Structure 1
Amino acid sequence: MSEYTDAAKKQMERSIEALGHNFAKVRTGRANPHVLDDIRVNYYGQPSPINQLAGIKSDASMLIVEPWDKGLLKEIEKAISSSDLGITPSNDGSCIKLPFPKPTEERRRELAKECRKYAEAAKISVRNSRRDANGLAEKDEKAGDISEDDANREKKAIQKLTDSYIDKIDELLKAKTAEVMEL
């Protein structure tokens, strides 16, 4: 691989990672601890992630958040309630339970649409990486560092790489959509 395809591949890998992170936050009816990743709890004046303040257990339809400091129960409950998660936490004095009801058909369609938006954003990011790598090859060609034939070969290699990453995004979207639409 050349420096152009290496640079593009690194950027495209980051796009795939970001897509995976976004997909993990989509609530599918299964209890997934990653839905709590963006929720911050006020811990002695510092906003801290829940997973740094509590143990999180999950089964098929429920998350159980057990704070290491029981004095944080109210703060964690308040943070979850005020988030856009759409789940009402129940506090039993030692842990917080988050039930994940199965989404309705309409809600599953909305979640699938949200997944498509994330996938499209990832595709745009991959295409931008292609544009950047092609621009570097063209710049080096104009500067006389590489020949026109070499620049064209690089562009073909970059396009092949781009196509493979677009296909990977489509596969990830297909799998996530099937997971979301599952009853």
Structure 2
Amino acid sequence: MEKHLLYAIAKGDERAFEALYDTYFRQIYHFVLGYVKSPNLADDIVQEIFVKVWEKRETLASVELFKPYLYVMAKNQTLNQLRSISRSKASQQELLQHYVFSERSTENMIQNKEYQAFINNAFQQLSPAAQKVFSLCREAQMSYEDVAKEMGFSRHAVKKYMMQAMKTFRQLLSGPIDVNYIVVFFSLLGLLQ
């Protein structure tokens, strides 16, 4: 039956699309919500996913297994949205308001160790000077001017080291990575505040 819906949608049948939407909306919403924890953000992401499904409707007839296709699309859209959020303070606040870091289940403890190892690995790829600049700016929350005075650098040099650090972190996040890594990564670095 699903294959018939996909063929109908590929031909522009809006009723078939509504049926598909009704069938999968809640599943995809809960899947996305599991990553972002924010009901509003999850709803927005799921709406965007279904808009993309409609925009790509001509290709649906060739999709053999729609459910896995939809879940991959959902994960990719969520990851893209989280990357975008990393650049917006208002969105960061919305996300972290719903993200619970205090759960202590075995799975979360293992995941937290993996996240910390990921962050430590990223940090170790920085030069010693960039590590110190990054630590002072993010952990000690010092201004570029104060870091420059303490380290005997110019403000421009401090900014350059910070840009190198952020470039390194962003490159590590650009590959295939669990969505939760991004949330924890940016929050631990003090970027989501």
TM-score grouping bracket, smaller chain normalisation: under 0.3
- Comparing both structures, which one devotes a greater share of its residues to helix? 2
Q: Which fold has the larger relative contact order, with Cα–Cα distance below 8 Å and residues 6 or more apart in sequence?
A: 1
TM-score with structure 2 setting the length: 0.26
Structure whose alpha-carbon radius of gyration is higher: 1
- Comparing both structures, which one devotes a greater share of its residues to strand? 1
